[in-house]
């Protein structure tokens, strides 16, 4: 174990050593006395400590860091309310299958359940949302638990893991012994002597084996592979198909280092492909196989559908988008998700990215030009419709025109963070993710409020790339204060707020169905002024002719290291009529 320079070795050093051994370079946190030794030890080892203003933001940031780097993201929060504040972000990571580690503080081991500060039973709250809850009770087990948790986060179906680190395991041994000696007192009564005996025994057990300072080693995580029989069946099905279709989801790109080989494999397969979630951008902006529009119609016409890392959930109408006569191939790390709502003809249980690479090597090349041309014609027609709708002028800014301008101006490797309802839903049709690992959205949980944390995580692990947060005005309220974090840590995030003074995704259908806009009305709030008040830059856009100059100015400010928020007053449109999901 390497001690924190200039300090007596403590349990926090054990945690930091394990993190360092696994290549962790940054910790996202909100401070608390329960976890201070961990933060100090990590900083001493050169890890970057990004302290945010809400514990959920820390977990969202760790989630984004994991997705972009392929290394589990790490967040550390204090006990009690610090942990309860993370629950939504933890559940979002679980459903998005993001490998991350949440380290949570806890009350002293001998005082748990006795009314100590911020002491609650954390296991029943956290355990349903993580792959495993590690409850550490001895100092020597701290590093081992962290190492096991980091490996488990990546194994099988990736996901979050939790390690509970009580405060009396984290400080140096002399301090711990002194705390318990003070608590035991020096009284001579039978009760006082019994308490002293109990606490001394407790300390011995807690510190047993702590003289062992062997540093933890990073575990090799085995990547699950689909069986050869599934590969042969899938190759045969593709060979028979006249109109095959490939749909790729986030799970397929969980191995970040494999994305270029994966993109090459998809190209070799030569069949039209739709990308979703983190897979957006896998093939760049204008790949000849890439399709973005009319996916439902294409699925219903296809005679062989390969779902790679995509379950048949609400996004595919619970499997009903795929016609019954089609051969369905499901490549997925999760056997449950591969069979969710629709039993596939071929279940390739293993890493979907590696499966596609193997399939590309095994499948024979075929001419799909007619099928590709049919889909391309629809693609062009839909793009023309969007162009026509973007040309409609109003008093304020047409959201389609705004997004078309951003599409033209954003950097070739820009990261786009999506956090919102109607505005972000519109953006998903208009914006083209530019490169692999360049689009971040919440995933299946549809969580609002991911934007600030995702942007902080992205800008931390990919500092050379331009990072945009596409915020609905409703969703922005969850994370505006994190501009303070961006300013303090020099994270030049650009936030683009689509301000239509409404929770529009809900309002549009609610008013039509119920005749009431209750609880959906916002205001043309000066979000740019909030950013300025937090030390960032703020720009207001109210008219169409102000859009391009404002976006260019935002890019210049970000290039100079300044976080900036662009508050754009939007016209309301019917572009996403009927978009309510169930």
Give yes or no for residue 99 having a pLDDT over 60: yes
pLDDT in tens, 196-237: 888 889 889 999 988 887 878 888 899 999 999 999 999 999
Per-residue model confidence (pLDDT) at position 90: 98
- 19/390 Cα distance (integer angstroms): 49
Nearest in space to 302 (alpha carbons), one of 341, 342, 274, 276: 274
Give yes or no for residue 432 having a pLDDT over 70: yes
Grade residue 573 by pLDDT with cuts at 50, 70 and 90. Answer: confident
- 201/385 Cα distance (integer angstroms): 75
Between 193 and 306, whose confidence is greater? Answer: 306
Grade residue 458 by pLDDT with cuts at 50, 70 and 90. Answer: very high
Per-residue model confidence (pLDDT) at position 478: 97
Per-residue model confidence (pLDDT) at position 552: 98
The answer to whether position 139 is within a domain reads: yes
Q: Last residue of a domain, which of 207, 240, 259?
A: 207
160 and 29, same structural domain?
yes
> Three-state DSSP class for 244?
strand
Exposure string of 219-245, with b = 16+ CB inside 10 Å and e = fewer, is: eeeebeebeeebbebbbebbeebebbb
pLDDT in tens, 345-395: 999 999 999 999 999 999 888 999 999 999 999 999 999 999 999 999 999
pLDDT in tens, 529-554: 999 999 999 999 999 999 999 999 99
169 and 20, same structural domain?
yes
- 535/522 Cα distance (integer angstroms): 25
Give yes or no for residue 500 having a pLDDT over 70: yes
Q: Last residue of a domain, which of 177, 207, 237?
A: 207
The answer to whether position 219 is within a domain reads: no
Please check whether residue 231 is in contact with residue 257, taking contact to mean a CB–CB distance below 8 angstroms: no
Please check whether residue 304 is in contact with residue 245, taking contact to mean a CB–CB distance below 8 angstroms: yes
Per-residue model confidence (pLDDT) at position 187: 83
Per-residue model confidence (pLDDT) at position 363: 87
How large is the average pLDDT for residues 75-82? 97
Residue 328 belongs to domain with CATH number: 3.40.50.1220
Per-residue model confidence (pLDDT) at position 49: 98
DSSP state of 152: H
Instruction: Give phi and psi for 350, each to the nearest 5.
Output: 165, -170
Per-residue model confidence (pLDDT) at position 414: 97
Give yes or no for residue 6 having a pLDDT over 60: no
- 517/512 Cα distance (integer angstroms): 9
> Three-state DSSP class for 219?
coil
- 461/66 Cα distance (integer angstroms): 9
113 and 48, same structural domain?
yes
How large is the average pLDDT for residues 478-487? 98
The answer to whether position 214 is within a domain reads: no
Grade residue 290 by pLDDT with cuts at 50, 70 and 90. Answer: very high
> What is the total count of domains within the chain?
3
Average pLDDT, the chain: 94
201 and 74, same structural domain?
yes
395 and 321, same structural domain?
no
Phi-psi sector, 294: left (phi>0), alpha (psi -120 to 50), beta: left
- 225/228 Cα distance (integer angstroms): 9
The answer to whether position 162 is within a domain reads: yes
- 356/334 Cα distance (integer angstroms): 16
Per-residue model confidence (pLDDT) at position 8: 67
How large is the average pLDDT for residues 452-471? 98
116 and 192, same structural domain?
yes
> Three-state DSSP class for 302?
coil
Per-residue model confidence (pLDDT) at position 379: 94
Q: Which two tokens stand for residue 441?
A: 């959205």
301 and 411, same structural domain?
no
Instruction: Give phi and psi for 106, each to the nearest 5.
Output: -155, 160
Per-residue model confidence (pLDDT) at position 581: 57
Between 8 and 5, whose confidence is greater? Answer: 8
Per-residue model confidence (pLDDT) at position 118: 84
Grade residue 113 by pLDDT with cuts at 50, 70 and 90. Answer: confident
Grade residue 3 by pLDDT with cuts at 50, 70 and 90. Answer: low
265 and 164, same structural domain?
no
pLDDT in tens, 131-143: 999 999 999 999 9
490 and 543, same structural domain?
yes
- 11/202 Cα distance (integer angstroms): 17
The percentage of residues in the chain with a pLDDT greater than 70, rounded to a whole number, is 98
Q: Which two tokens stand for residue 221?
A: 């995580």
How large is the average pLDDT for residues 185-194? 84
Nearest in space to 281 (alpha carbons), one of 445, 89, 68, 442: 68
The answer to whether position 383 is within a domain reads: no
Give yes or no for residue 578 having a pLDDT over 80: no
Residue 172 belongs to domain with CATH number: 3.40.50.970
Grade residue 117 by pLDDT with cuts at 50, 70 and 90. Answer: confident
Range of the domain at 298: 228-372
157 and 29, same structural domain?
yes
Please check whether residue 510 is in contact with residue 534, taking contact to mean a CB–CB distance below 8 angstroms: no
Nearest in space to 565 (alpha carbons), one of 547, 539, 546: 539
The answer to whether position 3 is within a domain reads: no
Per-residue model confidence (pLDDT) at position 195: 82
Please check whether residue 96 is in contact with residue 251, taking contact to mean a CB–CB distance below 8 angstroms: no
- 104/42 Cα distance (integer angstroms): 15
Q: Give 465's Cβ-side CA count (13 Å radius).
A: 24
DSSP percent split of the chain into helix, strand, coil, nearest 5: 45, 15, 40
The answer to whether position 220 is within a domain reads: no
pLDDT in tens, 378-390: 999 999 999 999 9
Per-residue model confidence (pLDDT) at position 115: 81
pLDDT in tens, 506-535: 998 899 999 999 999 999 999 999 999 999
Please check whether residue 92 is in contact with residue 454, taking contact to mean a CB–CB distance below 8 angstroms: no
Per-residue model confidence (pLDDT) at position 576: 72
83 and 125, same structural domain?
yes
Q: Which residues contact 550 (CB under 8 A, 6 or more apart)?
A: 539, 541, 566, 568
Give yes or no for residue 462 having a pLDDT over 80: yes
111 and 37, same structural domain?
yes
Per-residue model confidence (pLDDT) at position 579: 58
Give yes or no for residue 577 having a pLDDT over 90: no
The answer to whether position 157 is within a domain reads: yes
How large is the average pLDDT for residues 283-299? 95
Give yes or no for residue 409 having a pLDDT over 70: yes
Virtual CA dihedral for 58, 105, 81, 127, nearest 10 degrees?
80
Grade residue 67 by pLDDT with cuts at 50, 70 and 90. Answer: very high
């Amino acid at each position: 174990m390497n001690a924190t320079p200039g300090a007596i070795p403590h349990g926090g050093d054990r945690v930091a050593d394990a993190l360092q051994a696994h290549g962790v370079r940054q910790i996202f946190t909100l401070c608390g006395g329960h976890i201070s030794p961990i933060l100090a030890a990590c900083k001493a080892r050169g890890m970057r400590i990004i302290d945010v203003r809400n514990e959920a933001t820390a977990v969202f940031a760790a989630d984004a860091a994991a997705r972009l780097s392929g290394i589990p993201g790490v967040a550390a929060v204090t006990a009690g309310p610090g942990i309860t504040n993370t629950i939504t972000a933890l559940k979002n990571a679980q459903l998005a299958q993001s490998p991350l580690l949440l380290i949570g503080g806890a009350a002293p081991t001998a005082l748990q359940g006795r009314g100590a500060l911020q002491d609650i039973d954390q296991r029943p709250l956290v355990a349903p949302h993580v792959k495993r809850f590690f409850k550490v009770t001895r100092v020597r087990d701290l590093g081992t638990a962290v190492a096991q948790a980091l490996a488990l986060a990546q194994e099988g179906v990736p996901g979050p893991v939790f390690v509970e680190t009580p405060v009396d395991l984290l400080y140096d041994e002399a301090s711990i012994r002194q705390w318990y000696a003070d608590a035991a007192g020096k009284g001579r009564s039978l009760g006082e002597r019994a308490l002293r005996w109990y606490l001394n025994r407790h300390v011995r057990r807690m510190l047993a084996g702590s003289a062992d300072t062997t540093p933890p080693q990073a575990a090799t995580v085995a990547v699950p592979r689909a069986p050869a029989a599934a590969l042969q069946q899938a190759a045969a099905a593709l060979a028979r198909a006249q109109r095959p279709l490939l749909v790729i989801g986030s799970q397929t790109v969980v191995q970040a280092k494999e994305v270029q080989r994966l993109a090459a494999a998809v190209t070799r397969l030569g069949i039209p492909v739709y990308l979703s979630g983190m897979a957006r951008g896998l093939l760049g902006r204008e790949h000849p196989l890439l399709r973005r529009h009319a996916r439902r119609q294409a699925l219903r016409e296809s005679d062989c559908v390969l779902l790679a890392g995509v379950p048949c959930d609400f996004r595919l109408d619970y499997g009903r988008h795929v016609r019954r006569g089609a051969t369905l191939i499901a490549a997925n790390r999760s056997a449950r998700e591969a069979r969710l709502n629709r039993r596939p003809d071929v279940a390739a249980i293993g890493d979907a990215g590696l499966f596609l690479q193997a399939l590309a090597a095994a499948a024979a090349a075929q001419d799909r030009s007619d099928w590709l041309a049919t889909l391309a014609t629809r693609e062009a027609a839909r793009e023309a419709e969007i162009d026509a709708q973007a040309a409609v002028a109003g008093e304020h800014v047409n959201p389609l025109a705004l997004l078309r301008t951003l599409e033209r101006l954003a950097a070739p490797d820009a990261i786009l963070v999506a956090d919102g309802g109607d505005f972000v839903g519109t953006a998903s049709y208009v914006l083209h993710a530019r490169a692999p690992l360049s689009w971040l959205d919440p995933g299946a949980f549809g969580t609002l409020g991911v934007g600030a944390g995702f942007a902080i995580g992205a800008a931390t692990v990919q500092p050379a790339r331009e990072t945009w947060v596409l915020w609905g005005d409703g969703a922005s309220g969850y994370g505006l204060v994190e501009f303070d974090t961006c300013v303090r840590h020099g994270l030049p995030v650009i936030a683009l707020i689509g301000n239509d003074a409404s929770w529009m995704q809900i309002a549009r259908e609610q008013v039509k169905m119920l005749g009431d806009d209750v609880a959906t009305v916002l205001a043309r709030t000066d979000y740019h002024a909030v950013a300025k008040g937090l030390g960032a830059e703020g720009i207001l856009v109210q008219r169409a002719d102000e859009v391009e100059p404002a976006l260019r100015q935002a890019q210049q400010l970000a290039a100079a290291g300044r976080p900036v928020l662009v508050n754009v007053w939007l016209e309301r449109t019917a572009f996403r009529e009927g978009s309510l999901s169930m």
